[in-house]
Amino acid sequence: MFQIEFDNQDTVVGIDLGTTNSLIARMNLTKPEIIGGIVPSIVSLKADGEVIVGDPARQELIDHPERTVYSVKRLMGRGISDVQDELKLFPFHIAEGSESVIRLLLGEKTLTPSEVSALILRQLKKNAEAELGTPVTKAVITVPAYFNDAQRQATRDAGRIAGLEVLRLVNEPTAAALAYGLDKRREGVIAVYDLGGGTFDISILKLHDGIFEVLATNGDTHLGGDDIDNRLLKIALEDIQSEWGADISHSGGAVQTLRAAVIKAKEALSFAPSAKIDFAWNGKTYQREISRDLFEGLIRDIVDRTLGPCRDCIRDAKVTPEEIDEVVLVGGSTRIPLVRSAVEVLFRARPHTELNPDEVVALGAAVQAGILAGTVENQLLLDVTPLSLGIEIYGGVVSKIIHRNSTIPASAGETFTTGIDGQTNVLIHVVQGERELAKDCRSLARFDLKGIAPMPAGMARIEVRFLIDANGILNVTARDARTGLEQSMDVKPSYGLTDEQVEAMIEASIDHAEEDFQAAQLAGARVDADAILAATSKAQRNDAWLALSDEERKAVTDAINRLQLAYHSDDHNVIRSQIEHLNEATHSLAEQMMNTAVSSALKGTKVSEQPE
């Protein structure tokens, strides 16, 4: 198994870079342990320019919310258009010119989400080094399983900025299975339900002889405890406006103080039948008691939103709920009784709740770090890519090279050819998604392979290879097999998918399966029609065309006309039928061309020199 060499003084750690809180852990002699304590994922810039992180920044969030950032994980690898709804609720501001890459404005300073996350990672690193007394330079960092390429790359960038060598990005649900020691089973199917502050993931893993394999993963990169907080916050703001006759939603300090009161009540409702929201501002007070029944009624639709991806994941894993042996709950929001009961009903099994759900991911990351360092033996972890990856070919059809839920690291390739005589350039268009046509998938990258040896259409051999590394980063290589000319690139999109796109991509592939199949068949038929029409047109300029009888030439011309009329039909069978007719009509022409070519080759050659 692959193992990484470490200097003696290095300590490899596991990090949960969370939406609400972040933690760091390491493997001791027998088990993983949290070091350095929990660090709230909050960063604030003081008036004198000092940056503060974690608990000290909590008060700044109330006193100076305009220069304090929280829940930055929801912004990682995303553009402004992706997060319009969240920005309405955040007190901090976005710098101008931040369309493709968000830049947060904190006082006079602008920071990207990766730079803000790096400050959190740097604080974790500092805390760990203070406790251990040794440098911390290498880490495994967890990410939601449904993070796309841009979001994963943004996380790696954060680690690099913080002075950490990121050895591996590991999916959070997978890390949770390791933390629970479910590898102690010899066999089993495990579902990990992870509802954190800003993201939701569901993964189904199979354990066989010490090997963890992710059978399927699904989720929503924009669903979590923050949505529950915002629901309660909105109701409280409406109550206050009604009672006080004043709208406090424009006061950052008031909103953050109210948010803290709402979160406190929400947390109390996990173990008490009722809780009180208690808020005071500018000499006025607001109190509202909320029963658990009312609370569950208010958030039931949010909890239900997590169940759809769970059902999809079960289907993709090709298992039934009865075949799932263990269910693990991860994330602070899984303390909510409604969440636990919904999971138990869906999976028909009582979920594991023994470990602190806020710590379990960091603990699992430490186990993964131990696996990479060689201190944890006899374990292997296999992750999967959540969406198919391929390239656009003739007719706008997608040729999928690495399929959805393929185990990573993964490598696969296919050989393609040219469609035009003498073609010297090929555009490689890389796409991501489940639909059959490139226009319905997400475009990731385009690049030209130039300098291809000019040859007749269909003769060139272009080898395209995809390689996804252990962190889910895609490298694409295109190579001309004849000349050895090669070009490659890492696919790093400027920003990620919106939550609607993430959820819709797989659903759309199912909803439009029949329609997409027909569209792909039609596109393929038109490509074949183009090819045979071009070949026939070229043949008509050959001497063999003149050797045909008038009747044979008329048959070919009529077949060409019928195919050209059928070309714009929406029925691929009609086009295929006319292609077959043209094939039949050109049999004599093909024979004449062969005879002409042979005669030309043998002209002037003695019988004794002819090949036997």
Distance in angstroms between the alpha carbons of the first and the last residue of the chain: 56
Contact 75, 94 (CB under 8 A): no
- Asked, as a colleague might, if the bond just before 409 is cis with ω within 30 of 0, I would say yes
Residue 323 CA to residue 446 CA, distance in Å, equals 43
Active-site annotation holder among 60, 149, 157, 172: 172
Active-site annotation holder among 16, 149, 226, 480: 16
Residue 456 DSSP symbol: S
Cβ density class 484-495: b for 16+ within 10 Å, e for less: eeebeeebbbeb
Active-site annotation holder among 60, 73, 312, 434: 73
Partners of 31 in beta bridges: none
Name the strands in the sheet holding 486-491, side by side, starting at the edge strand that comes first in the sequence.
Answer: 410-416, 462-468, 474-480, 486-491
Residue 485 CA to residue 483 CA, distance in Å, equals 5
Structure tokens, 429: 């268009």
Question: Does 16 participate in catalysis according to the annotation?
Answer: yes
Q: Which residue, 324, 328, 385, is CA-closest to 351? A: 328
Residue 257 CA to residue 169 CA, distance in Å, equals 35
Contact 185, 264 (CB under 8 A): no
What are the two backbone dihedrals, phi and then psi, of residue 137, each rounded to the nearest 5 degrees?
-125, -15
What are the two backbone dihedrals, phi and then psi, of residue 399, each rounded to the nearest 5 degrees?
-100, 110
44: Cβ–Cβ under 8 A, 6 or more apart, which residues? 51, 52, 53, 56, 57, 60, 61, 64, 67, 68, 69, 106
Q: ∠ CA 541-546-550 to the nearest 5 degrees?
A: 120
Name all contacts of 39-43 with Cβ < 8 Å and 24+ positions apart: 39/120, 39/123, 39/124, 39/127, 40/70, 41/17, 41/70, 41/71, 41/72, 41/73, 41/120, 42/68, 42/69, 42/70, 43/68, 43/69, 43/70, 43/72, 43/106, 43/116, 43/119, 43/120
Burial of 340 (0-12, 13-18, 19+ CB in 10 A): middle
Q: Which amino acid is at 450?
A: K
- Cβ-based neighbour number of residue 448 at 10 Å: 12
Q: Which amino acid is at 38?
A: I
Question: Does 172 participate in catalysis according to the annotation?
Answer: yes
Question: Does 73 participate in catalysis according to the annotation?
Answer: yes
Contact 492, 432 (CB under 8 A): no
Active-site annotation holder among 60, 115, 149, 194: 194
Question: Does 209 participate in catalysis according to the annotation?
Answer: no
CA atoms within 13 A on the CB side of 541: 5
**Catalytic annotation, residues:** 16, 73, 172, 194
